[in-house]
Chains A and B, each alone.
Chain A
């Protein structure tokens, strides 16, 4: 039985690191984005490290916890990695909600950064 493909190793490492930072001190997420990064958060677009960190830091909850249900990783033709995550989260004392998130990772100067990030809550009832 061989090891997991390299993109799965890198992708799952990144995912673990990302949610650990997010859940404990999300201001530190700045290190994984660059000036060219784009975030789409629940339909809102943010471009650039600064704008992204500002959005994430300003989210209105004190406590947050993510739990990953499933993750998938694929290499892209240009040696980037695309990762898709499906899971659940709980913020403060609110009910648990589903979410899904997609990341595009690129290796720049030996570090893997996130150039594209799209997040959506799994909300099915808009009543």
Chain B
């Protein structure tokens, strides 16, 4: 099993360790100010665009920087999201666009009113995120706003239920002003992984 795993993802264990250590570190020392946290928005400094927009592909150095900065914003967002879900559930829908849609274990929940009702009825939660991947969506794919895709996985225990492994993906869009960027969820998809791990 170990050999097979290393065939699939060379060096992944180190990368995972690095990634998850840095993710957890960041979770403890978020640079978002207390004021922003209280206002329940995820605000970052403006996200620069990649330089070479005339060709389909930005130069690899600029692209990497762009990816890193987008992913840092995404990680901050994810941190805030799960903490809000667990500890300030009533503020959670402020992280969604008005027309955002969530698919929760196959059930479609669309728009803020429905989202409010849904999260209100959901039992209290304890999330543990173990993995996070993100990608900026290239300018060619979205014509307007900066968009980032995030995939998370980990475990969650809802009050009154057994613990589950989960996967979740988010489409985050950035609403930019000259001074800052406010991130919100446009699409959200959540599923339990139902099989037992060995």
Binding site for B on A (CB under 8 A): 34-36, 38, 40-45, 47-48, 59-61, 69-70, 72, 74, 76-78, 80, 82, 84, 86, 88, 91, 94-95, 98, 100, 102, 104, 106, 115-116, 118, 120-126
Contacts of B149 in A (CB 8 A): 82, 102, 104, 116, 118
Q: Summarize B's interface: helix, strand, loop or mixed.
A: mixed
Contacts of A120 in B (CB 8 A): 131, 133, 151, 153, 167
Binding site for A on B (CB under 8 A): 1, 4-5, 7-9, 12-13, 15-16, 19, 56-57, 60, 63, 67, 99, 101, 103, 106, 131, 133, 135, 137-138, 140-144, 147, 149, 151, 153, 165, 167, 169, 171, 173, 186-187, 189, 191, 193-195, 197-198
A33 to chain B, nearest CB (A): 12
Contacts of B19 in A (CB 8 A): 43
Contacts of B133 in A (CB 8 A): 40, 43, 118, 120
A61 to chain B, nearest CB (A): 8
Given A94-B4, A122-B197, CB of A78 within 8 Å of CB of B143: yes
| A115 contacts B138, C-beta separation under 8 Å | yes
Given A45-B67, A124-B165, CB of A100 within 8 Å of CB of B153: yes
Closest to B103 in A: A72
| A122 contacts B151, C-beta separation under 8 Å | no
Contacts of B7 in A (CB 8 A): 59-61
Q: How far is the CA of A40 from the CA of B12 in the complex (A)?
A: 12
Q: How far is the CA of A98 from the CA of B151 in the complex (A)?
A: 16
Given A35-B56, A100-B151, A102-B151, CB of A88 within 8 Å of CB of B195: yes
Selected contact of B135 from candidates A74, A98, A116, CB within 8 Å: A116
Selected contact of B57 from candidates A41, A47, A59, A118, CB within 8 Å: A47
Contacts of A116 in B (CB 8 A): 135, 137-138, 141, 149
Q: How far is the CA of A84 from the CA of B151 in the complex (A)?
A: 10
A60 to chain B, nearest CB (A): 5
A73 to chain B, nearest CB (A): 8
A42 to chain B, nearest CB (A): 4
Given A47-B57, A104-B141, CB of A121 within 8 Å of CB of B191: no
